[in-house]
Each structure stands twice: as C-alpha cells, then as structure tokens.
Amino acid sequence: MDKKVYTMLNDQITKEYYSAYLYLQIAAYFDEHGLDGYAAWYEKQAQEEEEHAMKFYRYLHENGQTVKLGQIDAPDVTFNDFLEPVKAALGHEQYITGCINDIMTAAREAHDYRTAEFLQWFVHEQGEEEVNANRMVQLMETFGGKKIGLFFLNEKVKERQ
C-alpha cells in the first residue's frame, strides 16, 4: 500500500473516533437541557462514527497493514444555544467529507483502486451525513426558537432507529 494512503487511512481512524467524542459531547449538552430526543440522536451518531473507525481498522488489517492508533483529543466546544451544536455537527461532517475526498484523491493518484473502491462507501455515507446534518440545522433554525417547536422537534428526532 502506498505510504501516503496508508498514513491517511490510519489517521482517519482517529478522526472517526474524535467524531464519536464530539457527538457524545453534543448529546451530553442536549441531555443536560432535557432534550432527550436530540441526545439520543447524537448518541446514535457517536455509535455510527465508532463503526466507521472500525471499518478503517479492519480494512488496514485485511490489507496487511499495521494499525497505529492516535491520540483522541477531547472536543473543545461550548454551546450557548441549541443551534450551535447542530451547526458544529454540520461543520464537522463537512470536514470529514473533505478528509475522505483527500484520501480518495491520494488513492487514485497512487493507482490504489482497491482503496478507492473501499472509500466509495464513505463517499456515499458522507453525502447522507451532510444531508441529515444540514436538515437538523434547517429545522432548528426554523422551529427551534419556539418552545412548542423545540418540543415537537425533540419528539421527532426520538423516532430515529
């Protein structure tokens, strides 16, 4: 495996686990404010990010590569209202999309088509993640400033499976 591609894939494991930490921090914020639906939503997001990290982990092992786990920093975020965390989640998903795109570019430049094919799932997944995160921002901007709207939004996001 190309050294640059390997390093980027390995680093992505840490980024995915950081994503999980960030979503747990967001979940904690909502939980502390009695918004259990939003807390559950972001707890589920955290679980998905851990699953993504493990996909990279397994891919490296399946391709004879050594996994070198990096340090996961605590999210350095504070929120002053309910819009800020959903915007932070959207911004983070956009960042992760950029990371996946960078790895894809490196894989293609290295003619590593197996890795490029592996990453295609993440390209699709990030599209879905950005759509969902953007929708959360739109809904919070539209209805979150009204107590009854926030109540119904919280109940709606509880329905996520």
CA distance 47 to 156: 20
138 annotated ligand binder = no
The sign of the CA dihedral 143, 153, 133, 89 is positive
84 annotated ligand binder = no
25 annotated ligand binder = no
Q: How far is CA 156 from CA 27, 45, 89, in A?
A: 16, 16, 18
Q: Is 119 exposed, middle or buried (CB count within 10 Å of its CB: 0-12, 13-18, 19+)? A: buried
125 annotated ligand binder = no
Q: Please list the helix, strand and coil fractions of the chain in percent, rounded to the nearest 5, in that order.
A: 80, 0, 20
Q: SS3 for 70? A: coil
126 annotated ligand binder = yes
What angle (nearest 5°) sits at the alpha carbon of residue 142, between those of residues 95 and 137? 10
| Total Cβ atoms within 10 A of residue 26 | 26
Known binding residues for Fe cation are: 16, 49, 52, 93, 126
Known binding residues are: 16, 49, 52, 93, 126
